[in-house]
Each structure stands twice: as structure tokens, then as C-alpha cells.
Structure 1
Amino acid sequence: MAAELYPSSLTTSIPNDPAVTPSSKKSIIQEPDQETEPAPTSTQPNANSSTETGSRWQASHPTLRERNALMFNNEHMADVHFMVGSPGETQRVPAHKYVLAVGSSVFGAMFYGDLAEEQCEIQIPDVEPAAFLTLLKYLYSDQIELEADTVLATLYAAKKYLVLALAKACVAFLETGLEAQNACVLLSQSRLFQEPELSQRCWEVIDAQAELALRSEGFSQIDPPTLETILRRETLNAREAVVFRAVVRWAEAECRRRGLPVSTANRRAVLGKALYLVRIPTMTLQEFADGAAQSDVLTLEETHDVFLWFTAAVKPALEFPAVPRTGLTPLRCHRFQSSAYRSNQWRYRGRCDSIQFAVDRRIFIAGLGLYGSSGGKAEYSVKIELKSQGTTLAQNRTKFLSDGSSSTFSVWFEHPVQVEQDIFYTASAVLDGSELSYFGQEGMTEVQCGKVTFQFQCSSDSTNGTGVQGGQIPELVFYG
């Protein structure tokens, strides 16, 4: 059985589940104000390394940092040992009390405080060996090495022993790899570890990419309090039918975690009051009939009452909230100062209008604002696309109706796309319809929109004349 992803207290072991970690990358961070000589990087025991701890090893390692780093995970002069890990997976780790006490107030109290530990072997069953070794490496050498599959466990160890710089590095590592697939699990852990900044970053992703987050495997692995917190979220940008399906999947996973048969009664039991946080009356009648009404999660009476609520003039009282979520309000970055039209442009013959942009903070591109016909009402077929370094991140083929005005018309991607800071992305549109269109003039290379600064540059993909100074794609529609 897979380990639970939500401990009941801070003394519970944090799991190693690569599926819920931000990425498979490794981070090595050297503290800036320290010596920069290389330190040993292996986390394997050095217990019998006679070549490194011979009679003249001090002379061959001239700096204090080198000598301290050499003693990491080394039996030489070790005056304490830790038995780290759960029973059956325990690893014996040698250490030196003075080094640990200098780097951690918890270790300082443990070894030199009024209630100092007398024993030379200390049991630590709630910390994973790999995470403990990462903690010790930092205390011995100021070097931080983080792995995606152990960073949560390392954060737990750093918080337990009040090694704040390491904890901060763990949070930064998690933020770097934060995406819809792991945002719900990381929200659960950030609440557990009392990391409000990480929680806020998780909410930004969950709100903007709610449907992707709710459909992720990670959502099924969160703890019940986090489930209720997400379901209460007013700014969740998701259809309620998607929310309901996600809740049912979570209930099935929770039954399996508790060793219960996946039955109607057990699903309702594990959901408890969380079921009544789903805003079922805000679905369409068709969504309800095709989904929740056939799920066997609702009672016959609840199903009957919801159908009456949709169809009857006098509506019955329901336990489910009937007010839709507000969701997020999209923001619009407009890059032109004026628009115009002339009889000989802007024309479309299947050519591509494209522009490159970069932002100074993470946002979520939801769609593009486009100009329509300058000759009266017209319908356009359009393909929009968002790329980064030649890789397509999102595209959509759809139609929009232009009313003949110079207003912009929004065309949306299926899901908002996460855009990272200081990276150039390419937004493109290929239109087919009325040839003559409005176009933008007096384009700006830099636009401040709310808290976000956009930079624009010409794209080599543009074959229809669009550039920074003028053309199509007047707006980027985003959350951020």
C-alpha cells in the first residue's frame, strides 16, 4: 500500500512519491558568503576512509570548510551516532556534536543544554535517511543538494531542527517546480509545514488551472482538511461538474487508503460534510443528469430534489450551495495605443500573425484578444497557439463573431497555460474569414499590466506583417 501523503502530525514520516514532486531535477546551492572550495558530494558513509583521515589529513585540506566537509558522515572523531529511519529501513549515521550544535539550536540544546542527551546513539524514526544526510551535509559544508523525490522530507527535517536556510531553499525548490499536477499535494504539505508563501503560490496555480489540478492524481492524495479548503474556494476557476467528478475520485482513493470497500455508503462516509461543499445546483441540467445524478453518491431524495430545483417553479430547499463560484477575473495586456483600418489591409489568406513576449513574474495565459472585420459583421475561423522554444504548449481551433467594431474579441485556450518569468514565448493566430480587418498601431515594447511587466519583440513565425509596432494580436488575456 502506498504511504499516505498527509501525516497526522509533524512527527509522521514524509513519503517519497516522485509522482507528486515538482520535477526530477537536482538542485545544488552554495551559500554565497562562504568559502568556495569543493566539498565531498557523496552521501555514502566515509567511516573507514583511512586515506582521508590519516595522520596528516589536516595539511592537505587548508580551509576550515574543507576540513569540516571532510568530517561529514565520517566515523573519524565521531562522538554521536543517529539511527535514522523507520524500523527495517534504519541507517546508522556518525556525526560530531559540536558541528551540529553550531548549525542548529535544536542540536545545541540536545547536546549542550540543561537537558542534554547523554546517550551516544540517538533514534530518529520520523526522518528519512536521505533527508537527514542532506541536512547534515549543509551543517558541515554550507552546501545544499536537493532532489525532487526527497525535498519534502528534507523540508520536514530542516523545520524539525530549525535549520532555516535549508528550509527556505527547499521551499524555493518546490516553487520552481510547482505546476497543476502537484499543486494540491504541495498545498497540503505547505499547510502542514506552515509555509504561507508556498501556500499562496499553490493557490495561484490551483485557482488559474483548477480543472487540471482537480483532474490530477495528486488531488486524490490530499488530506480531508485540504479537500474542504479547496472546495470552499470562491476563486476556483472550474466547472462544478469537474469539481464533483474530482470529489468522487478522491472519495474512492480515501476508501482504499482506509482499507474500506469502495461502496456508496463508504464514499459518503469518508466525504462527510465535504460533499455539501460541491455547488451542484450551479451545474447545467444536462451536466447534472449525465454526471452527479448517475453517480450513486447522492441519495434518491437528493437527486429528486435537485431535479425539482432545476425544473419546478417552486424550488425545494437544498443542502448544496446554489451560488456559483466567482472564479478569477481575466486581465488583459493591450500592447497597442491605437487601432485603424485601411482598404488595403489587414488581410488574411491563411498566413500567420505572431508576436513574442516575456513577463517578469509567473502568470497563466488564458487566451488572445484579436481584431475583427472592419467591414461589418463577420465570422472568423481561427487557430491560436502558444509556443516556447519551438515546443507547442497549447493551441485551439475555434470561431468567433466580429460585430464590425474596433473592439477586441477573446479567443480562449482549453486550459490556461503557465508562463514562467524571463522566458520568451510565441503567441500566434491564423485567421480565415473577412479579409479586411482592424489592426493595431503605435505598439509598445514594454507594457505594465497590474503587477506584471510584459516585454514584446518580433517573431520569425509572423508571415502576415504583425510585429511590435503594429498588426494583429492586440491583447494577451491572462490570470496573474
Structure 2
Amino acid sequence: MSSTKDESPDWREAKSLSECLMYTFKSEIKCDVTFRIGEDKTIVKAHKYILSTRSQVFHTMFEGPMSETGDIDIPDIDTNTFDLILEYIYTDSSSNISHENVENVLYAAEKYMLTNLKKACETFLKKSLSSDVAAKYLDTAYQYHMDELKKLCVSYLKENTRNCLQSDYAAKLPTECIEIILMSDYLTCSETELCMFFMRWMEMQCQINNRETNGENMREMATKLLYLVRFPEVDMMYFSENVSKSGVLNSDEIISIYQSHFGEKNDLFPNQPRGPYGKKQFRSITNRFSDMHLKRSTKGLHALSFYTSRDVWLTGVVIGCPFVDWRKQSVSSCALKAELKVLSNINSHVASSLKKFQLAKENGEMYGKCYDMILSNKLRIPANQLFTCTLTMEMVKTNSVEYFCYVGTGGAPQTISDGVIVIFQNSPRSNADTDIRQGQFAGLIFDICCLKEN
């Protein structure tokens, strides 16, 4: 006799706990709470007990004197996001987090105190970090107090500053995030590029706040951030044509920046160049000459121009050392002052070094053939921009001592060091015996920023 009983398999059979729970949710089995989600109030049913065991917020919502009764409206979360939240609560799975929904999931995870789901979102963001989204993720990290993500975003921005600041979201960053960037001493872009971005950011803030885009309002948007921009390091042509005419700075501030380019102290804006971010390698070009030999000192200005194939940070210049033949001198010691300057042909910014050589008969040739003159501050050398080194040497007090200098011969007009090509050119400033073939400048000393792979 055939059986009429339903012999279909039990839905619980061979299923895990999370699979069973998810089945009851989707099938609305024993559901005892109804939510109305989003602006369209989409109906979603669930189980109070399960939600309460996973979220303190839901527990408070369902229990106690202030507990909700009837249907519960949740207008600030869309249906797709709420479904992902419930999927996590029922199954502990966060595999459906994506670029499209991660911000919404984060908001809901924060609202319902789902700590592990928030961590899953942070992990997703860290793994998907790129120049297009680094600025946006920094804002997200700041907003949701995710310290690890914040630290990673700041590091990434420093390593890839130029590309990150070109993203669509960068100009929309809140003041707190812009302050983090501007306070950094190490970035991988020029101060001019950073200034260009900051001008764009102020304009965007005016638009966001429905204010007319003018100098007064831009300055109001910037507040204290304005004094974190290192205007003395900004290219003078860009500053003159854009910043000084924008109305963002007052006349005293503009004058102080112009004066700083002529060596006067600036107390309003920082003027220390930002260094490149990453692992630095110290590199030196020391093989420009085929030979170094002694030559009677020539009075005048030694000058030589150069440019590089990529951005570097000039830290010093290698010069020929002074030498005294004590057999022909009536004194046994003397001092010689060497003054080195590096000038930009664009904005005349000067980095300098001053060395006092103490020469004595008893010490012999104590400085050797070459000497590294380290600059008082590192000078950023943008690629393909012409700079000029100048050097003067003169005796201190005693002018009667005849001295020689080591000078190079067979100088190469081009050198390559660690992938950086340096092209040398004769300078019209030179009125001594230095040019691309011979003279005082044996090489350059510079830092190369070696960034981590993205």
C-alpha cells in the first residue's frame, strides 16, 4: 500500500547551524520582529533572539522599559545593506563586502556595534588601497576611528602624494585630513604641487558650503591650515601668477614670502623643504673628472650649471681641496674660507655651505684631493630644471700665503649614478677656471627616494 505522506527531505538535513538559521530567516519561520527599511519602508522580518545575541543595540531595542513595540522603522539604511547586516548576524559571514557597499556596511556596523564586521570592512579597505581611493579611505578611517587604516592611508599618501592628490575625492577631504597631509615633513610631491592642490581644496570647500569662490571665503575655509603651506618653497612664477593674485594672502604675508626668496628670515610660514618619503639612499657622483691635479689658485667665481633626469634632493657638492707648499712659505699655518651656493635659475632660491679650511705645516695634506661640502639644508632638484653651483675661496686674515687647489680635468658633460642622469653646462657666472671640462666641481651628493612597491 503506497504511502501518501510527504517524504521530501527535512530542510535541516546535512545543514550547518548558520545554514539552518539563514533558512529560517529567508523562509520567515518563527520570525517575531518586523522592520520597515529605507525610504520605501521595505518589509524585512527577523528573529529577536538571534539579533539580541549578536548586537547590544538590538538587545536594548527589544528588552527593557524602553523597548520597541510593533514594526520598527529604520529609514537611514537601505534594504541591500540591511540584508548584508542580517546575513552577517545569522551566519558570521562578511564575504559580500564590496567597493560599492563597504561604506554603507561600515555605517550600519558602527550603528549596531558589530565590532567584527567593522574589522572585516577595515581589512577590505586596507587590501584595496590605491591612489584613486587613498584620500577617501583616510576620511573613512578618521570618521569611524579605525587607527590601523588611518596609519596605512597616511603612509600610502606620503609614498604616492602626487597621484593621491589628483583623485576626485581629495579636494573634498575634511579639514582634519588636510591638516594631517600639510603637517607632514615627508611627501612625494613638490611644494608647488601641494600648493596647487590646496588652492583647489579651498575652492571646493567654498562650493560645498555654498559660498562664493573668492579670496576672502577661501581664506576663511582654510583657517589655520594656511600657515602649514610652505609658501617660501613654492615656485615663484606660480606664486606670483596664482597665489598672490587670489586674495587668499594679505599684503604683509605676500611681501614676507617674496623677501624669503632673497634670504630674509620668514616667521609666518615654514620654509624647510619637505623630504621625500620612503627609504633614502645616499648617492654621490664622484667620477666626473678623469684626473685631479694641483693648480695654482685662481681668484674669482667658480660656477657650473646642471640639471637631472629625475627629482633628487641635493645634499652637497664635491669640490677640489686647497693645498699649501709649506717649503715656500714664511708662516706655518693659515686658514682658507670656501663658500658654496646653489641657485635655481627659476626662483633664485639659495642653498649654501661655508667651510673654513685650517691648513698647517705640521698636518701636511690633511684634507686629501676632494672635500664634500654639505649644504645647510637639502635642496629639492626637480627633474630637468637648471641649477647653478658657485664657489669662492679666499684666505682668512693672511693674504700673503700662496696656495694651490686640486682641480679636475677631462670632465664629462654627462654622468649617470643609480639611474639618475646629470647633465652639466657651462655657466656665464664663471670667471675662474671652472667649466664642464675642468675646474672645482668634482661631483654632486644627493638623496634618492626609494619607495616601497605599491
Q: Does structure 1 retain, via aligned residues, the 8 Å contact 2:192–2:238?
A: yes
Query: 1:204 is matched with which residue?
Result: 155
Query: 1:67 is matched with which residue?
Result: 20
Matched letter for residue 77 of structure 1: K
Query: 2:68 is matched with which residue?
Result: 118
Question: For 1:372 and 1:244, how far apart are their aligned partners in 2?
Answer: 35
Alpha-carbon distance, 1:162 to partner: 2.4
Matched letter for residue 58 of structure 1: W
Question: For 1:266 and 1:178, how far apart are their aligned partners in 2?
Answer: 33
Alpha-carbon distance, 1:411 to partner: 3.2
Say which of 319, 323, 334 aligns to 2:272: 323
Query: 1:160 is matched with which residue?
Result: 111
Alpha-carbon distance, 1:58 to partner: 3.4
Residue-by-residue CA offset, 1:360-382 (whole Å, 9 max, x unaligned): xxxxxxxxx999989959x9x99
List gaps (5 residues or longer) in structure 2: 1-7, 292-305, 311-382, 386-410, 422-447
Residue-by-residue CA offset, 1:169-208 (whole Å, 9 max, x unaligned): 1111111111122112211110121111101110111011
Question: For 2:75 and 2:12, how far apart are their aligned partners in 1?
Answer: 38
Q: Does structure 1 retain, via aligned residues, the 8 Å contact 2:57–2:113?
A: yes
Q: Give matches, 1:128-143, under 5 Å.
A: 128-143=78-93
Choose 1 or 2 for highest CA Rg: 2
Query: 1:477 is matched with which residue?
Result: 450
Say which of 36, 40, 62 aligns to 1:83: 36
Query: 1:273 is matched with which residue?
Result: 224
Aligned identity (percent) is 26
Query: 2:248 is matched with which residue?
Result: 297
Asked whether 1:172 is paired with 2:123, we answer yes
Q: Does structure 1 retain, via aligned residues, the 8 Å contact 2:284–2:417?
A: yes
In the superposition, relative to structure 1, how do residues 74 and 323 fare at CA in structure 2: closer, same or farther (>3 Å)? Answer: farther
Q: Does structure 2 retain, via aligned residues, the 8 Å contact 1:372–1:409?
A: no
Matched letter for residue 81 of structure 2: A
List gaps (5 residues or longer) in structure 1: 1-54, 334-368, 384-396, 414-474
Alpha-carbon distance, 1:290 to partner: 4.3
3-state SS of 1:146 partner: coil
Query: 2:215 is matched with which residue?
Result: 264
Alpha-carbon distance, 1:252 to partner: 1.6
TM-score under structure 2 length normalisation: 0.58
Aligned residues: 308
TM-score under structure 1 length normalisation: 0.56
Q: Give matches, 1:65-464, under 5 Å.
A: 65-85=18-38, 88-112=39-63, 114-115=64-65, 117-144=67-94, 145-311=96-262, 314-315=264-265, 317-331=266-280, 376=290, 409-411=417-419
3-state SS of 2:97 partner: strand
Q: Does structure 2 retain, via aligned residues, the 8 Å contact 1:236–1:325?
A: yes
Alpha-carbon distance, 1:476 to partner: 10
Q: Does structure 2 retain, via aligned residues, the 8 Å contact 1:306–1:318?
A: no
Question: For 1:476 and 1:310, how far apart are their aligned partners in 2?
Answer: 26
Q: Does structure 2 retain, via aligned residues, the 8 Å contact 1:71–1:140?
A: no
Alpha-carbon distance, 1:305 to partner: 3.0
Alpha-carbon distance, 1:268 to partner: 1.6
Alpha-carbon distance, 1:238 to partner: 2.4
In the superposition, relative to structure 1, how do residues 274 and 73 fare at CA in structure 2: closer, same or farther (>3 Å)? Answer: farther
3-state SS of 1:65 partner: helix
In the superposition, relative to structure 1, how do residues 308 and 149 fare at CA in structure 2: closer, same or farther (>3 Å)? Answer: same
Question: For 1:99 and 1:160, how far apart are their aligned partners in 2?
Answer: 17
Question: For 1:89 and 1:153, how far apart are their aligned partners in 2?
Answer: 17
Question: For 2:211 and 2:19, how far apart are their aligned partners in 1?
Answer: 54
Question: For 1:78 and 1:269, how far apart are their aligned partners in 2?
Answer: 54
Question: For 1:181 and 1:412, how far apart are their aligned partners in 2?
Answer: 28
Matched letter for residue 272 of structure 1: T
Q: Does structure 2 retain, via aligned residues, the 8 Å contact 1:79–1:120?
A: no
Matched letter for residue 92 of structure 2: D
Question: For 1:115 and 1:174, how far apart are their aligned partners in 2?
Answer: 39
